[in-house]
Amino acid sequence: MTWKIVSDSSCDLLDLDNDAQIGFETIPFVMSIDGVDYVDDENLDAKALIKAIEECKETSQTACPSPGQWEEAYADADNVFAITLSSNLSGSYNSAVAAKEMVLEDNPDKNIEILDSLSTGPEMVLIIRKLVSLIKSGLSFEEVTEKIKKYMKTTHIIFALSSYNNLVRNGRIPKIAGLVAGKFKLTGIGIGSPEGTIDIKKIVRGSKKIVDTIVTDIKERGENCKNVVISHCENLELAENIKEAINQALENISVTIIPTRGLCSYYAEKNGIIVGF
């Protein structure tokens, strides 16, 4: 039996560190900025995308993967897990579900489980890494499904953004939150709600307050947390400061830092930080 994990490109991963036992594929979002399309795949010029976001004068928007793209990705494995950006932020989940229904019409014996991350970026990385561990442990498809859904109830996300332009423009948060953070050069600290929406936790000024707020949130919500993933949009210095603070505050914890891919760069914008734990 062959295994495959399929994700949309909001996951901030391009591969599984060359793990040959499990297939992995990401399906790209498309960011359209001032009439230019940026496809969120391995060929994306991330610096050009971020520059375009900063210089956007007219309109920008994103397009989620189509059912046909998901359907094609499901085709070459017996057991498939698909994970998507929060269904309350995107139509990606609905596309993945529609594709599953199409595939099972012709291949009813195939196993396909669609996982709504209710999140994005680094929290999805944690879920994917857990899936890899469960699959490699030799469990059945049904056992992996049960355990990954239980695990997903224990993970969380927090982010620190200095610009909310694209989140506001695309209706992901109320307009006033974006205006306040942008106008006064403050940083908005937000968290993912249990429903997969965005809640603004507080507005802070300065990197120390950002680090302190994130570490405190991990302590409060991350009971028995052992793994943290930090995604950053051209802000490695702050990501490393957060990692150092986490390691000082918590014992026996693994922290990894990765750059945001295209979709998370689009919404986090330059200097944005997203932390999954």
Out of 55-64, 76-85, 239-248, pick the least confident. 55-64
Binned at pLDDT 50, 70 and 90, residue 121 comes out as: very high
Whole-angstrom CA distances from 34 to 16, 46, 58, 59, 60 are 33, 16, 6, 5, 6
Mean pLDDT of the chain: 92
Percent of the chain with pLDDT strictly greater than 70: 91
Whole-angstrom CA distances from 133 to 106, 111, 128, 137, 138 are 30, 18, 9, 6, 9
Q: Are 182 and 164 in contact (CB under 8 A)?
A: yes
Q: Comparing 19 with 104, which gets the higher pLDDT? A: 104
User: Which token pair is 200?
Assistant: 């603004």
Q: What is the rounded CA–CA span in Å between residue 69 and residue 8?
A: 10
Q: What is the rounded CA–CA span in Å between residue 120 and residue 92?
A: 12
Q: Cβ of 123: how many Cβ atoms within 10 Å?
A: 26
Which amino acid would we find at residue 156?
Answer: H
Q: What is the pLDDT of residue 39?
A: 98
HSE (CB half, 13 Å, CA atoms) of 30? 9
Confidence check: pLDDT of 123 > 90: yes
Q: What is the rounded CA–CA span in Å between residue 156 and residue 118?
A: 10
Beta strands at 157-161 and 187-192: parallel, antiparallel or unpaired: antiparallel
How many degrees, rounded to 5, is the angle at CA 264 between CA 3 and CA 228?
Answer: 65
Q: Tell me the three state secondary structure of residue 275.
A: strand
Give the model confidence (pLDDT) of 169-221 as tens digits: 665 666 655 545 555 567 889 999 999 988 888 889 899 999 999 999 999 99
Q: Cβ of 76: how many Cβ atoms within 10 Å?
A: 11
HSE (CB half, 13 Å, CA atoms) of 186? 16
Confidence check: pLDDT of 19 > 80: no
In the chain, the domains with their CATH numbers are 3-29+64-152 (3.40.50.10440), 157-276 (3.30.1180.10)
Q: Phi and psi of 61, rounded to 5°?
A: -160, 170
Give the model confidence (pLDDT) of 232-247 as tens digits: 999 999 999 999 999 9
